[in-house]
Amino acid sequence: MIQRTGPMNLFSDIRTLVVSEIEAMMAAGDLPAGLDLAAVAVEPPRDASHGDMATNAAMVLAKPAGLPPRAIAEKLAARLGADSRIAAVDIAGPGFLNMALVPSVWAGLLVAALKSGDDFGRATLGQGIKVNVEFVSANPTGPMHVGHVRGAVFGDALARLLAFAGYNVTREYYINDGGAQVDVLARSVYNRYLEAHDLTVDWPEGSYPGDYLIEVGEDLKAKVGDIWLDEPESVWLEEVRNFATDKMMEQIRGDLALLGVQMDVYSSEKALYGTGQIEAAINTLREMGLIYEGTLEPPKGKLPDDWEAREQTLFRSTAHGDDVDRPVKKSDGGWTYFAPDIAYHYNKVQRGFDQLIDIFGADHGGYVKRMKAAVSALSGGRVPLDIKLIQLVKLWKNGEPFKMSKRAGTFVTLRDVVEQVGPDVTRFVMLTRKNDAALDFDFDKVMEQSKDNPVFYVQYANARINSVLRKAREMGVAVDDATLAAADVAQLTHPAEIAMAKKIAEWPRLVEIAARGNEPHRVAFYLYELASDLNGLWSKAKEDTSLRFIQDDPATTQAKIALARATGVVISAGLAILGVTPVEEMR
């Protein structure tokens, strides 16, 4: 439980006030009883001249209450004005209530930030809610490439964000080790094993001839010697498959670790086979009347060459919002990929998660509706599944698009990127775009330590803050958080200082908004704005030296530095959500 040391989310505090005053108006007969207040919002106004906070209450209540918005606004304004935190209330535009807060509110907020430290902004939104975030889930057939990086960073940042918002988060990786592609992997590794014994081999179409398996073949030789050299596939396939997927997963874990991504649970597709779990999940659907033998309509438009009508085992996903029913069995009697995935999601539901989040590449967009249908059916509608699709990353190098090709040797692995660019820059840049918009990753720009590169901009602001703290300490001024929290921050009255405090005040609200929408990119954008405010304040202080953080008088210095340090607290909390290490110094 987080100890509340003062105001955390000022916006929700004021919204609580607005709601309680509306309820009082209903009780007093000024408004009809039983109004739905869900649409009542308290937000920062776009234009600072409109005050500190605005509410749309009068407008959204006007119609259901059958009263003109102004009449509601006037009575509500009078009530709000009586609160000690509110200095003035204006009615503006079509019925907005604009509120100005008393200066001591901002002072109190800074104190709260300093006392809470890295916990400042931690929310209770997800209190008691177990959420599972499944991400990456790359096939264990090779090293991770750049295309995987964005999904990995997004999923990890989302998990950190949700944890910060109070959710009980599990990060999970679904290993696709049950399909034909791991048999292909095994045969490719067997080839490398033969080569390790100086034998010549053929590489059939569709195998994995990548160099990364050479070492695996040698490891296999070191482990089993020559016992499988003249044996048929039936003898070695399963063991080689297990050996190879273990090696690949080892490599993938290492790749993820380079990026600073740590999974809580690795679930195996293969492990679902033979346990009855797939059968149980399908039977559960069958008992609901959602599994049947039938024939699908051919897809409209051009048909696949080999299309022929065929009766198959289908999941009635249309009963839960899908466009067509989906096959769960192949013609050879084996399960489709969908079937174990149904079982896997059923397993997540049974483990007691209240919410599921899947992070897929955009090329899996066609899979979304059927997966949601399955979870909806198997959880009886209890567990929402949100699927975030991660759009393409376009690589740029030397000012032109950089095409990845295994054959041309321009295949870019995750390791290549992280070793060249570093995990911090990689992560930040990958989070500067909404997940559903394509992202340009320009090697030249991200390597450049310029303002084109937002991560350096944010880091620079943080370095400046630390520089001030360092200097103050050298001067013998105490600037530990406890001392700063007790400083006389009420003397920070300059508009630029107040503006800085207001920006800090938005942090807890931003965390909730970002968490509610599963949108970690909002944190990156907010940090950029916060850094911009700090840099602006810094420059103003060149002309107006009274704005400098370090002053002659220690008490004044402490008050000023309290503001700087509170900004630094938010920057490091925000960077922690993005998984980026704050730098103390840039020279």
Partner RNA sequence: GGGCCCAUAGCUCAACUGGAUAGAGCAGCCGACUUCUAAUCGGCAGGUUGAGGGUUCGAUUCCUUCUGGGCCCGCCA
Instruction: Report the site for RNA in 367-426 (rule: CB under 7 A).
Output: 367-369, 389, 391-392
Type of residue numbered 333: G
Angle (deg, nearest 10), helices 10-28 and 69-81: 110
Cross-strand partners of 293: 313
Q: Is residue 68 part of the contact set for RNA (CB under 7 A)?
A: no
Q: Is residue 358 part of the contact set for RNA (CB under 7 A)?
A: no
CB of 286 to RNA, least distance (A): 18
Euclidean distance between CA atoms 302 and 475, whole angstroms: 78
Nearest to 294 by CA among 277, 278, 317, 273: 317
Q: Which residues ranging from 188 to 217 are in contact with RNA (CB under 7 A)?
A: none
| Choice from 128, 232, 289, 366 touching RNA (CB under 7 A) | 366
The region of 145-153, 283-291, 347-355, 443-451 touching RNA under the rule CB under 7 A is 443-451
Cβ-based nearer residue to RNA, 45 or 103:
45
| Choice from 432, 483, 572, 581 touching RNA (CB under 7 A) | 432
CB of 353 to RNA, least distance (A): 21
User: Cβ neighbours of residue 242 under 8 Å, at least 6 residues apart?
Assistant: none
Q: Give the chain's length.
A: 587
Euclidean distance between CA atoms 388 and 249, whole angstroms: 24
Q: Which residues ranging from 208 to 267 are in contact with RNA (CB under 7 A)?
A: none
Question: What are the angstrom distances between the C-alpha of 163 and each of 166, 519, 547?
Answer: 5, 13, 37
Two structure tokens written together for 247: 């090696």
Euclidean distance between CA atoms 525 and 574, whole angstroms: 10
Question: What is the residue-wise DSSP string for 256-302?
Answer: HHHTT---SEEEESGGGTTTTHHHHHHHHHHHTT-EEEEEPPPPSSS
Q: What region, left, alpha or beta, does residue 445 occupy, with left being phi > 0 and alpha being psi -120 to 50 degrees?
A: alpha
CB of 505 to RNA, least distance (A): 11
Q: Which residues ranging from 140 to 199 are in contact with RNA (CB under 7 A)?
A: 176, 178-181
CB of 199 to RNA, least distance (A): 29
Cβ-based nearer residue to RNA, 21 or 269:
269
Cβ-based nearer residue to RNA, 156 or 325:
325
Cβ-based nearer residue to RNA, 225 or 334:
334
x/- contact string, 513-532, with RNA (CB under 7 A)?
x--xx-x-xx--x--x---x
Neighbours of 422 (CB within 10 A): 17
Cβ-based nearer residue to RNA, 139 or 168:
139
Q: Which residues ranging from 42 to 61 are in contact with RNA (CB under 7 A)?
A: 43-47, 49-50, 54, 56, 59-60
Euclidean distance between CA atoms 245 and 545, whole angstroms: 63
Q: Is residue 362 part of the contact set for RNA (CB under 7 A)?
A: yes
Q: Which residues ranging from 94 to 113 are in contact with RNA (CB under 7 A)?
A: 94-96, 98
Cβ-based nearer residue to RNA, 99 or 263:
99
Q: Is residue 16 part of the contact set for RNA (CB under 7 A)?
A: no
Cβ-based nearer residue to RNA, 147 or 210:
147
What's the order of all strands across the beta sheet hosting 130-134?
Answer: 265-268, 168-175, 130-134, 355-361, 385-390
CB of 437 to RNA, least distance (A): 4
Q: Which residues ranging from 269 to 308 are in contact with RNA (CB under 7 A)?
A: 269, 295-296, 299-302, 304, 306-308
Cβ-based nearer residue to RNA, 224 or 296:
296
Question: What are the angstrom distances between the C-alpha of 258 and each of 255, 397, 419, 421, 561?
Answer: 5, 22, 8, 12, 35
The region of 142-150, 259-267, 400-408, 508-516 touching RNA under the rule CB under 7 A is 508-516
| Choice from 226, 436, 444, 488 touching RNA (CB under 7 A) | 436
Residue whose structure tokens are 């007093």 = 28
Q: Is residue 70 part of the contact set for RNA (CB under 7 A)?
A: no
What are phi and psi for residue 88, nearest 5 degrees? -155, 150
Q: Is residue 81 part of the contact set for RNA (CB under 7 A)?
A: no
Residue whose structure tokens are 């020559």 = 226
Cβ-based nearer residue to RNA, 196 or 385:
385
User: Cβ neighbours of residue 577 under 8 Å, at least 6 residues apart?
Assistant: 157, 160, 161, 164, 511, 520, 523
CB of 198 to RNA, least distance (A): 33
CB of 433 to RNA, least distance (A): 4
Q: Is residue 464 part of the contact set for RNA (CB under 7 A)?
A: yes
CB of 78 to RNA, least distance (A): 18
| Choice from 115, 187, 433, 503 touching RNA (CB under 7 A) | 433
CB of 528 to RNA, least distance (A): 7
Q: Is residue 41 part of the contact set for RNA (CB under 7 A)?
A: yes
Type of residue numbered 496: A
Cβ-based nearer residue to RNA, 170 or 432:
432
Print burial letters for 14-24: b (CB count within 10 Å at least 16), e (below 16). bbebbeebbee
CB of 512 to RNA, least distance (A): 8
Q: Which residues ranging from 539 to 578 are in contact with RNA (CB under 7 A)?
A: 539-542, 547-550
Question: DSSP 3-state assignment of 335?
Answer: strand
What is the total count of residues that contact RNA (CB under 7 A)? 107
Q: Is residue 439 part of the contact set for RNA (CB under 7 A)?
A: yes
End-to-end CA distance of the chain: give it in Å, rounded.
Answer: 40
